[in-house]
Amino acid sequence: MNPDSVAATHSPPVPPMQPQARGGTLLLVEDSRVTADYVRLLFRGAAGRLRRADSLRSARRHISLYTPDAVIIDLGLPDGSGLDLIAEMARRRPRAGLIVATSGDAEMEEDAFLAGADRFLPKPFGTGALFCQMLAPVFFGLRGGAQPDQSPTQAALRDDLYLALDLLNGKGAQPAYARQFIAQLACMTGDPALSQAVRDGQRSEISTLLRHRLRALPLI
């Protein structure tokens, strides 16, 4: 599938933009700290500000106060689908200059364009070259040169693992969202065993693997 052809058919045209020399804002709507930390490293060379929202509610609070120059929206969020937020932002005036959908599920690409996204960023981000390519027209200084270490920080990984266990087994557990969150975490961290356990729906095996990953982290 050609993303540009789908976007041209279903999305409003995106006006040409001049890169922000300073002061531009990227809003990242992402529930995973591992992913958010990696995006922060990729964005470090840009002349602009990065703001993060970890839910639809938080994102809507942000856009009620300002219009970001670009927004990256994870399609799986704790309080609903990122597709809904994409549709809202595509209709909003003034419109964000660039709306990017991101997911580890490539089958969500067409739905993202139909909702109004301008681009689709698959997870994992790999070297980050596609990330930089997509945002370079909007943010001055983002050219995708030397790429950061893709390994998640221990603190970010620990936070996501604890959150995953809580979503899976804790008070007020959200099993469906937990599986989605854990699948994305396994995707970003390159963990095939965890990915397979999620695909197999083995809740006990998923919990065991998450606890094993936590025990393997060095003590703070």
Task: Please tell me the predicted confidence (pLDDT) of residue 10.
Answer: 46
Any idea how long the chain is? 220
What is the reported pLDDT for 149? 57
What are the structural domains of the chain? 3-135 (3.40.50.2300), 154-213 (no CATH)
Is the pLDDT score of 176 beyond 70?
A: yes
**CA gap 63, 26 in Å, rounded:** 11
Query: Is pLDDT of 159 > 90?
Result: yes
Across the range 180-208, mean pLDDT stands at 93
- Mean pLDDT over each residue of the chain, to the nearest integer: 86
Residue 71: is its pLDDT beyond 70? yes
Structure confidence at residue 84 (pLDDT) = 97
Q: Is the pLDDT of residue 18 over 60?
A: no
Indicate if the alpha-carbon torsion angle 133, 35, 51, 103 is positive or negative. Answer: positive
Integer CA distances (angstroms), 161 to 167, 175, 186, 197, 200, in order:
10, 15, 10, 15, 19
Is 70 within 8 Å of 193 (Cβ atoms)? no
Torsions phi, psi of 159, nearest 5? -60, -45
pLDDT digits (tens, 9 = 90+) for 119-151: 999 998 877 888 888 898 888 777 655 455 556
Q: What is the percent of the chain where pLDDT is above 70?
A: 85
In sequence order, what E strands does 6-77 have? 24-29, 48-53, 70-74, 76-77
> Averaged over 56-78, what is the pLDDT?
96
Average pLDDT for 80-104: 95
Tell whether the model's pLDDT for residue 43 goes beyond 80.
Answer: yes
Retrieve residue 152's tokens.
């998640």
